[in-house]
Copies of this chain bind each other. A is one copy, B any other.
Amino acid sequence: MSDITRLCVAHRYSEASIHNGVVYLGGMVPEGDATDIQGQTADVLAQVDAHLAACGSDKSRILRVQVFLAHIADIAGMNEVWDAWVAPGHAPPRATVQAALADPAWRIEMVVTAAQR
């Protein structure tokens, strides 16, 4: 039995790997119909919640978040949704930079590292 667990393994990539109590999520991008940054951020954060739950973790146990925004000016709108979502007292270290994403309709991609419970 392997000491690495993977979540939703497809041919190209998986959604998460777990090793030694640490959860490494892949880049989460919007999957719904939202076109604005608030809606896309909520979409991505809901995926983060779901994947962390599937990995035996949750948003109070995030170790770091890397945020890529297609338009850095979206950071204020992203923060609105983030601030309402983040677990009080457990806000993780974060880094936010601008980068064009694989689909021009996507405004945000988040890469989360967390600890299992």
Contacts and interface: CB of A to CB of B under 8 A. Distances in A.
Interface of A: 3-4, 6, 9-17, 19-22, 24-27, 61-64, 66, 68, 72, 75, 79, 82-83, 86, 88-102, 109, 111, 113, 115
A97 B3 contact: no
B97 A68 contact: yes
Contact of A14 (B83, B92, B113): B92
Given A6-B91, A15-B93, A20-B21, 9 more contacts: A4-B61, A9-B90, A12-B91, A13-B86, A17-B64, A19-B21, A20-B115, A24-B113, A97-B99
Per assembly, the copies of the chain total 3
Contacts of A91: 6, 9-14
B63 A4 contact: yes
A48 B102 CA distance: 23
